């Protein structure tokens, strides 16, 4: 899984945001977390990539996962 670019766009008010981050952490996945409430650059990146402000959004390289879709993340990352 080396060299994967994984980013989690999140907000501190979303339970699914915390669940997504915990899921990745519990599987030893390194990721960059960007809080779209506090970070205007991250918010603009999120809108540019998805056209909306829904969080969490997890990007795995060029794949965009809107919401905490555990099954899709498992497939993309090759984890169980």
Q: Could you give the CA distance from residue 7 to residue 23 in angstroms, rounded to a whole number? A: 13
Residue 1 has pLDDT above 70, yes or no: no
pLDDT at 4 (0 to 100): 87
pLDDT in tens, 4-62: 899 999 999 889 999 999 999 999 999 999 999 999 999 999 999 999 989 999 999 99
What pLDDT is recorded for position 2?
58
Beta strands 32-35 and 57-60, pairing class: unpaired
Q: Let me know if 15 is exposed, middle or buried by CB neighbors in 10 A (0-12, 13-18, 19+).
A: exposed
CATH classification code of 6-77: 3.40.30.10
Nearest alpha-carbon partner for 80 in 23, 35, 42, 19: 23
The answer to whether the predicted template modeling score (pTM) of the entire model surpasses 0.85 is: yes
């Amino acid at each position: 899984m080396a060299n994967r670019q994984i980013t989690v766009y999140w907000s501190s008010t979303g339970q699914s945001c915390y669940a997504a981050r915990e899921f990745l952490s519990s599987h030893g996945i390194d990721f960059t977390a960007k809080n779209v409430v506090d970070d205007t650059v991250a918010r603009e990146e999120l809108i540019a990539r998805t056209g909306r402000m829904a969080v969490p959004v997890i990007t795995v390289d060029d794949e965009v996962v809107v919401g905490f879709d555990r099954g899709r993340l498992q497939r993309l990352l090759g984890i169980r």
